[in-house]
Structure 1
Amino acid sequence: MNLLIATATPVLIVIIYIYIKDKYEKESKRVLLVSFLLGAILSIVITTLLYLFFDLFLPLPDNYSIWQQFVKAFFVVALIEEFSKYIMVRYYAQPRKDFNEPFDGIIYAVMVSMGFAAVENLFYVLEGGLEVAAIRAITAIPAHATFAIIMGYYMGKAKFSNNRMKWNLIGLALAVLFHGAYDFFLFIGFIPGISIGAFISLIIGIILSKRAIKAHQEISYFKKIKK
């Protein structure tokens, strides 16, 4: 029970935080739950299948070079995971009529991402225990949230743009960039002190995420007062 609580608590905190930040036009709880479940089930399934594909047909050697760690971080882990979340937002949430303000891109992306993160977190915590849960609560879970906010910010712009593909792909690319940078510095942790790069990229991501939330809140506010 303690492990389940430790697994779920940071995810729940992120969800509540983002839900509160959606100040002006709350989304349907049912749709948010479906988004969460899509991340927890379909995104995990897609990610697992793509990982299996890479392991079978494009395997990396056991002793990775720094370049190979770079490829793994950006073009395997980050790209696969963020793409699996992206398509849930793109094909389930973004076409919906409920997606009626730019901030919705953030909240739907976060819900999908937290579904994914909850399942991933459960596997890690069951294997590593409460110590791993504590570490991931202040690292991996906030990281997944920041990747989602950045991607969702641009997917929110895309919904109301004449060039939807452009903004959607920018959102995906930036999520992959931050996710890849975070993982890369952790993957090459055998270089003394280099892991600090992961926390620097996370801090930058958090700063940009706060700005993204504020920017879309302002758009929602002006939209409300014009009604």
Structure 2
Amino acid sequence: MIAIALSAVAPGLALLSYFYLRHELEAEPLGYVIRSFVAGAVLVFPIMFIQYAFVEEGVLTGPFWQAYITTALLEEFFKWFMIYYTIYIHKVFDDYYDGILYAVACSLGFATLENFLYLWVYDSLEIAIWRAVLPVSGHALFAVVMGYCLGRAKHSTRERLWLFMAVLSATVIHGTFDLILILEPNHKLPAVLYIVILWMVALLLVRAANLSNRRQFK
């Protein structure tokens, strides 16, 4: 049980540490980062209940609807909602990279608890490895895209557009990832290649956010 708990929690904490350290300005208050992480974890149970209700009622159960609506849109909207009302509207959110950091923290809180519950049921080291490579890292990468848009929204005259793009972009890339897994359940290579592409995009967005900070706060 201890091994499963560690293998469930370690990927999320490792990824959060990485993105926390990529912030080139002063370090964000750790308490707020932890708050976002916990807020994401709190979302797991209500989202699981809603998804269970969709399945039981036979609503939106096709591959497309399951990938983009009952999973991606539902999860990304609630994460966006939580980030907006717990962090975005407060003064601690004050630079371009903050969006990435707090979105990643919230998303990894969700992914970590979800991963723990999954591994508690299946209790497999092989599954733990694949979940670290795919779903957990995937949630972090979806959050980078959402967070970049949130950071832009905070400093843009078109704030509402960027806030909308935060939800839309995360939903599209998350839904595409889930659709790949649904259509190719026995082949991990397409999903792994997709994650590699998302990592390249995420690193470019991290660099762009830090560059915007250097330009604005130099």
Counterpart Cα distance in 1 of 2:121 and 2:57: 28
Q: Deviations over 1:48-82 (max 9, x none)?
A: 24214423545356xxxxxx211110111111111
> Which amino acid in 2 is paired with 1:27?
E
Question: In the alignment, is residue 215 of structure 1 matched against residue 208 of structure 2?
Answer: yes
Counterpart Cα distance in 1 of 2:184 and 2:104: 28
SS at match of 2:91: coil
SS at match of 2:107: helix
Q: How does 1:39-78 map to 2 (within 5 A)?
A: 39-41=40-42, 43-59=43-59, 68-78=62-72
Superposition misfits of 4+ residues, deviation over 3 angstroms = 55-58
> Which amino acid in 2 is paired with 1:211?
L
Counterpart Cα distance in 2 of 1:215 and 1:49: 37
Q: How does 1:14-163 map to 2 (within 5 A)?
A: 14-41=15-42, 43-59=43-59, 68-128=62-122, 129-163=124-158
Structure 2 portions without partners, runs of 5+:
none
> Which amino acid in 2 is paired with 1:179?
H
TM-score (norm. length: structure 1): 0.89
Residue 135 and residue 56 in structure 1: after superposition, are their counterparts in 2 closer, same or farther (change >3 A)?
Answer: closer
Question: In the alignment, is residue 174 of structure 1 matched against residue 169 of structure 2?
Answer: yes
Does the 8 Å CA contact 1:106/1:153 hold for their aligned counterparts? yes
Does the 8 Å CA contact 1:181/1:198 hold for their aligned counterparts? no
RMSD across aligned positions (CA)? 1.7
SS at match of 1:168: helix
Counterpart Cα distance in 2 of 1:209 and 1:112: 16
Counterpart Cα distance in 1 of 2:46 and 2:156: 28
The alignment covers a number of residue pairs equal to: 216
Find the counterpart in structure 2 of residue 9 from structure 1: 10
Does the 8 Å CA contact 2:60/2:70 hold for their aligned counterparts? no
Counterpart Cα distance in 2 of 1:70 and 1:200: 20
Counterpart Cα distance in 1 of 2:54 and 2:134: 26
Counterpart Cα distance in 2 of 1:57 and 1:137: 31
Find the counterpart in structure 2 of residue 183 from structure 1: 178
Does the 8 Å CA contact 1:22/1:217 hold for their aligned counterparts? yes
Report how far residue 156 of structure 1 moved: 0.6
Counterpart Cα distance in 1 of 2:116 and 2:199: 23
TM-score (norm. length: structure 2): 0.92
Find the counterpart in structure 2 of residue 206 from structure 1: 199
Counterpart Cα distance in 1 of 2:26 and 2:160: 25
Report how far residue 216 of structure 1 moved: 0.5
